[in-house]
Structures are given as structure tokens and as C-alpha cells.
Structure 1
Amino acid sequence: MTAPTATVRAALRADLAEVADIYGHYALHSVATFDEAPRPLAEWELKFDEIAGRGLPFLVAEEAGRIVGFAYAAPWRPKPAYRDTVEDTVYLAPDSTGRGLGAALLDALLTACGAAGVRQVVAVITDPGSEASAALHRRLGFTDAGRLTAVGRKHGRLLDTVLLQLAL
């Protein structure tokens, strides 16, 4: 792994087309997300506005003028009692993995979550299929909180999700 050369910063609406492209790759070609098709830009704009409206972080990693990754925190569940708990999301451009960018994004996201008053961060990770994501979260202090067995089906496979949790 080499040191990341990207700058992690707050996302802008202008970044969302590149965010959508990164996510679309994973929707079509992996089990990292249970979405089976890319999300349209309009859906990303709504998500961006919702996250900003809640005072939660949405970050991007930019390198040489290109968005090479993104991370955001969204409400864990819609009920008011969950107000201090979020679910994190981190994705990297397929050609930008293995260089520490995921750790840089997740670390910055956790710092921003703490500043926003978040108390618990939950990661929902596909298993098998997202081992690097699980390892990244564990390296940054997340601990196992549970497993949901055979809750997803994608690319002809039944998939589990592993729940990891971090108290801030």
C-alpha cells in the first residue's frame, strides 16, 4: 500500500456525477451493494441534500482533479430514537483501491461524525464479497455486532451481511 495523494474534502453537488459513476460500477459488477443497477444522478442529488440537511458528512477524495472515492454517513434507521446513530458508506474508484484512500476517507468521516454529534457508527458489509471493507473497518476500531444470514441475493448468490459498530 502506498500513501494516498488524494485530498479528502466535503463533497459538492458538482462531484455527484463522478460519485454516481463510482457507485454504478459496484452496483453492476460486485456484491458490495445490494443495488443491482446504478442510481440516477437525481437520486444522488436527493441523498446529498438529505445528508446535508441532517448536518451529516458527505466527503470525497479528489486526486488530480478527479473524484477517486467518496464516503458519507446516513441515518441508521428513520425512528427518532436512532438520531445519534448512523450507517457509514465508503466506495473507491476501481482503479484507486489498495493505496490507503479508503482508510483516509473513513478516518475523516469518523472525525466529521464525531463533530456532528454522532455517537454510534454502524457498517453493513456483504459477506462473502467485501472482505477488504470489513478489514478496513476493523483496523479503524469497529467491532463485530452481528450477522444477518442469506438476506440478499445478487448475481445468483445468497449473501449475508456482517454488522460492525464503533462508538465515538
Structure 2
Amino acid sequence: MLEEEYQPRRVLPPHLRAPAAPEPVFAYEIREAVEADLPWIREIYNHYVANSTVTFDEKPWTLRFLRTKFAKIRKLGHPFLVAESPSGVILGFAYVYPWKEKAAYRFTVENSIYLGPGATGKGLGRVLLEQLLERSREAGIKEVIAVIADRGAEASIALHEQFGFVETGRMARVGFKFERWLGIVMMQKSLKKKR
């Protein structure tokens, strides 16, 4: 080998270096989901099924299952939102679903928010939750429940607290995934009409 191969590389002084490329802007539009979004939604959700305990699902969603769920949400007039990039990529989604099937629970829903792995940590979850709550209020929903894993979802708990959700209880060892027991934190927010 040549001696010059072992010489340390010289670094140009700052005033002679090319300027750093600007970070691309994280842009998106929040809109109601349409059926064409379902394959994207499935892929985002199934990432969490396979790689985390933020969902207790162990089997990936199928498009058939997701179409049925989506149709029910639309029939009820509940919001199902997506965040779409300017290039048409779905970055995340949020929806509410009936808390329980019994008629007396008709004004109470459970919320869900999932972001694609490249869209986390950029404030998108906050925007989706804000829009989801506003559109839920407009749809006549009175109570929103969040059921959050007690491990690995600290950011979700903090986000819900920022929007006025209060902890209403905890349940230990109610889920078993990845060979370990998991609990849940239950949070609730009442949707009052804006004055």
C-alpha cells in the first residue's frame, strides 16, 4: 500500500465547504380516508402488529377485515382520517370506533392513531389527534376512550394527556404478546361543545 493511503483526510475550512442541503419539508394534508387508502393503512398497522406491543393484535390485518371495519365507521358517520404526503404516500391514520356494541354506549368511542415509521417524532400524531377530536365532536360523539399499552407507549400517553385525557384506570397482565404479559392504561376525554 502507498504511504498516502494512510494519511488522514484533510477537511476543508467551513467557508470553503459546500452548503448543507436543506432538510426536506415534512408536508402533508389531513383528509378523510377513502377505500383506495386501505392498503397503505394496512401496511402501517401491520408494521406495529409485527414489531411492537402498542397493539395487542398478533395477526396482521387483511384487506377484507379492514374494508369491513372501514365500512362500519363510515356508516356510523365517524371520522377516519389519513395524513397524505404531497407525493401521495399515506404517512399515518386515525379513527374512532364504537367502544362497545350495546346501544347505550352509542356516544362513546375508542380512538386509534398510527404513524408510518418514517413519520414519527415530527408532530403528526398531535395534528391527527386534534383533527380526530374536532371531527368526533362534530359527529356527535360525547366521550373518547384511549386504551394504551402500559409499556412502550409512553409517547402516546403523554400525547393524550396534552389533549386533556385523564387516566381512568389500569389493568395489569391482560395481554400476552411476544412471550410476555402486558397491561393497559385507560384514558378518557369528554367532548364539550365549543362556545
Where on the TM-score scale, by shorter chain, does this alignment land: which range? over 0.9
Q: State the match for 2:128 in structure 1.
A: 105
Distance 1:157 1:107 in 2: 33
Matching of residue 63 in structure 1 with residue 120 in structure 2: no
Matching of residue 148 in structure 1 with residue 171 in structure 2: yes
- Give how far 1:116 is off: 0.4
Distance 2:177 2:166 in 1: 26
Q: Give me the CA root mean square deviation.
A: 1.0
- Which whole-Å deviations, capped at 9, do the CAs of 1:82-132 have from their partners, x for residues lacking one? 010000000000111000000111110000100000000000000111111
What is the letter of the counterpart of residue 152 of structure 1? G
Report matched runs for 1:8-157 at 5 Å. Answer: 8-64=30-86, 65-157=88-180
Instruction: Say which structure, 1 or 2, has more relative contact order (CA 8 Å, 6+ apart).
Output: 1
TM-score normalised according to structure 1 size? 0.96
Name the one with the larger strand percent.
Answer: 1
Total equivalences in the alignment = 166
Q: State the match for 2:14 in structure 1.
A: none
What is the letter of the counterpart of residue 80 of structure 1? A
- Give how far 1:4 is off: 5.4
What is the letter of the counterpart of residue 148 of structure 1? M
Query: What secondary structure, in the 3-state scheme, does the structure 2 residue paired with 1:33 have?
Result: coil
- Give how far 1:137 is off: 0.7
Distance 2:183 2:113 in 1: 19
User: Is contact 1:4-1:100 (8 Å) kept?
Assistant: no
What is the letter of the counterpart of residue 46 of structure 2? G
- Give how far 1:37 is off: 2.1
User: Is contact 1:4-1:101 (8 Å) kept?
Assistant: no
Q: Which of structures 1 and 2 has the bigger CA Rg? A: 2
- Which whole-Å deviations, capped at 9, do the CAs of 1:120-154 have from their partners, x for residues lacking one? 00000001111111111111111101001110011
What is the letter of the counterpart of residue 56 of structure 1? H
5+ long unaligned stretches in structure 1: none
- Give how far 1:156 is off: 1.2
